[in-house]
Structure 1
Amino acid sequence: MKFVDEAFIDIAAGDGGNGCVSFRHEKYKEFGGPNGGDGGRGGHVFAVADPNLNTLVDFRYARRHDAKRGEHGMGSDMFGAAGDDITLKMPVGTIITDAETGEVLYELLTPGEVITIAKGGDGGFGNMRFKSAINRAPRQKTPGWPGEKKSLKLELKVLADVGLLGMPNAGKSTLITAISNAKPRIADYPFTTLHPNLGVVRVGPEQSFVVADLPGLIEGASEGAGLGHQFLRHLQRTRLLLHIVDLAPFDGVDPVAQAKAIVLELKKYDAGLYEKPRWLVLNKLDMVPDDERAARVKDFVKRFKHKGPVFEISALTREGCEQLIRDVYRHIKSLQVAEQPPVYVDPRFSGEAAE
């Protein structure tokens, strides 16, 4: 399915039904009194986070979503029925923003999470609501209240623990294929990856993390060059970045210059993204002669001046991949433990209180 990570939609909750003016008509009762019912409320518009979806493509072709209005009130004390609600299924990680003001309204971060994005209008009052001791035959009624109408921007940021970063043809797709269950298209030309690919990396029983392979970046990506700039936002939710570097580029360019260009694009795009933990992964060692590997790696690290872990791998032969994923898992697990809130212990039931 085509990956679409941005869409604009118009939604409208249902209007409330109008109240009714009606009087009882019973035999031998000349003044039966008011019996006009209230109108029904309009339908709400809900959004639900569906873990089975990974694209907003459906909203590209269906931009208008309207809930039903409530039925009008009727005589004989009959209230109008509520309008049917509608539920819009969206991928986990969707950000819902007001298209006019740019204000972030909601974020769908938990699978199965349901939020109300537009409330239906309340129904109007029938004349039975206005009966009083001094107004025995009211002819007042009120119309239904209008439902909320909004123009929304939907933006999807994939929820991955690890993001793969690098130039086109650095071997990101080969790496995610080697370590996870993802099966992206792989070819020997740049820009093979046209949309993010998510893969689950299994480290052991009940031990796994999610990795995202994004389209390659080129110099000027933060200003819109190439393809990767469209997906830089997906890296903002990752816990760790793996900077994949082609240590044996076929075109003879300097890998250090390419790597520095990627880091500069990160800094230009988002300072917070630039500050994220970033590990260096030197790929395609299988294409470097054995007697040159150590010298080439040492030269790269020295000139690049990277502060952080450095891994030497070959995604094609899977050399070094096992150690990489184990270290990544330990790092992700340590972050998850650190993010857990402290457990509150009531002092009345603590050991100290007991003494």
Structure 2
Amino acid sequence: MQFIDQAEIQVQAGDGGDGLVAFRREKYVPAGGPSGGNGGRGGSVILKAVENLQTLLDFRYNHLFKAENGKRGGPNNRTGASGNDRIIEVPCGTMVFDAETDEVLGDLVAPNQTLCVAQGGKGGLGNAHFLSNSNRAPEKALPGLPGESRFLRLELKLLAEVGIIGLPNAGKSTLIAAVSAARPKIADYPFTTLVPNLGVVRKPSGDGTVFADIPGLIEGAHLGIGLGHDFLRHVERTRLLLHLIDVTSEDPIANYQMIQDELQAYGRGLSDRPQILALNKLDALDKTGDDLEALTQKLEQLSHAPVFQISAATRLGLDALLNRIWQTLDSMETEGAGISVHQLE
């Protein structure tokens, strides 16, 4: 499945139906009077969040969505039929922008949540509406109003409680494959993962928690380098960040600091998001135990948080890491420190 997380579309609501000029023509009714009905309302364009979609791929080739026009008014004061609304299904987590003004129109995060993005035009008035004591035979009717037209930009931001971040080849895909049923591509070279992967990890209580494997960030990601904007967008909705550091790299401290600098430069509160650090790839470590402990202490001093030592490939230390994640998430819910996806942009 191809992962598409941005799309631009045009939506066109239906026009209102025209009002009708008509007069009653019935036997034994010599002064029937005006009987033209009003036009029907045009259909609106409505976005609806659904759970069975994960990408915006459906909008890559289909860019124009129109609702049905309202019908013309009928004789005998009959109102024309309203046009059918156009319902467009989008994945949960889709933000909707006006592409011309960059205004945020809505954020669809909950299943079945809807957003009207283009209002249908009002139907025109028939001549029966203009009947008065001074005008007993009006020959005036109004046309229907045009429906709204808009250019929209859709951005999908994954809904996950835990976002796994780190430099390319830090072992993020290996970790999410080890703790969930997700099966991302894993290889021994950078940028193996080009799109975010989601995995559901079961808590001891049986509840599921969604983890997101965010593709590797590099220096300058906040400027868009290496698709940085595309990657960082998906970190925005996470409540907790799990920062993986390759313990076999030349300078793990510099790698840690670089990721922190990118989060800080990107803004939107990412640098203030709670983090858990883990030194990964202990199975491939050629450093001595003293070197590992010194590195761990240095990272704890920089991050002011405990640092876990794990090997995602052999599952070493994963139980302790997951327990800390569950404890942190539970405490965030209890203390009200969690960040609701409804409040995030």
Please state which band the TM-score falls in when normalised by the shorter chain: over 0.9
Name the aligned partner's letter for residue 263 of structure 1. Answer: Q
Q: Which residue of 1 aligns with 2:279?
A: 282
The 1:17/1:29 distance shift into structure 2, 3 A limit, reads same
Structure 1 gaps, min length 5: 342-355
Relative distance call for 1:137 and 1:233 in structure 2 (3 A) is: same
Q: Note closer, same or farther for the CA distance 1:339–1:95 as it changes in structure 2 (3 Å cut).
A: same
| Residues 295-329 of structure 1: per-residue CA shift (max 9 Å, x gap) | 32423542672211211110001111111112111
Output the aligned Cα RMSD.
Answer: 1.8
Who is 2:33 aligned against? 33
What residue in structure 1 maps to residue 85 of structure 2? 85
Aligned to 2:7: 7
Q: 1:352 is matched with which residue?
A: none
Could you tell which deviates more after superposition, 264-273 or 95-104? Answer: 264-273
Higher alpha-carbon deviation: 317-326 or 300-309: 300-309
**Structure-2 residue corresponding to 1:143:** 143
Task: Give SS of 2:165's match.
Answer: strand
Q: Distance in 2 between matches of 1:125 and 1:232?
A: 52
Maintained 8 Å contact 2:40/2:83: yes
Residues 3, 294 of structure 1: alpha-carbon distance in 2 compared, 3 angstrom cutoff: farther
1:317 pairs with one of 314, 331, 340 = 314
- Stretch moving more, 78-87 or 204-213: 204-213
Distance across 1 between alignment mates of 2:308 and 2:36: 77
1:302 aligned to 2:284? no
Q: TM-score scaled by structure 2?
A: 0.93
SS in 2 for 1:95: strand
Q: Secondary structure at the match of 2:303?
A: coil
Alignment equivalent of 2:253, drawn from 251, 256, 260: 256
Letter in 2 for 1:265: E
Alignment match, 2:101: 101
Match of 2:236 in 1: 236
The one-letter amino acid of 2:124's match is G
Sequence identity (%)? 50
How many residue pairs get aligned? The number is 337
The aligned residue for residue 193 of structure 2 is 193
The normalised TM-score by structure 1 is 0.91
Query: What is the letter of the counterpart of residue 78 of structure 1?
Result: R
Partners of 1:211 and 1:336 in 2: how far apart? Answer: 17
Residue type at the aligned position of 1:216 = G
* Misfit runs of 4+, over 4 Å: none
Mapped partners of 1:124, 1:4: distance in 2: 41
Contact kept, 8 Å, 1:217 with 1:229, in 2: the verdict is no
What is the distance in 2 between the residues matched to 1:63 and 1:326? Answer: 46
Match of 1:237, SS? coil
| SS of structure 1 residue aligned to 2:217 | coil
Deviation at 1:92, TM superposition (A): 0.8
Distance 1:50 1:32 in 2: 52
> Aligned to 1:235, what secondary structure does the other structure show?
coil
Aligned 8 A contact 1:96 1:155 in 2: yes
Instruction: Measure how far apart 1:29 and its partner are.
Output: 3.1
Q: How far did residue 294 of structure 1 move?
A: 4.6
The offset of 1:226, in angstroms, is 1.4
Quickly say closer, same or farther: Cα 1:271–1:38, change in 2 above 3 A.
closer
Distance 1:294 1:86 in 2: 65
Greater mean alpha carbon deviation, residues 293-302 or residues 310-319? 293-302
Secondary structure of 2:60's partner? helix
1:107 Cα deviation after fit = 0.6
**Structure 2: which 5+ runs fail to align?**
339-345
- 2:289 maps to a residue whose letter is R
Q: How far does residue 340 in structure 1 lie from its aligned partner after superposition?
A: 9.4
Q: 1:6, 1:294 → 2: CA distance?
A: 47
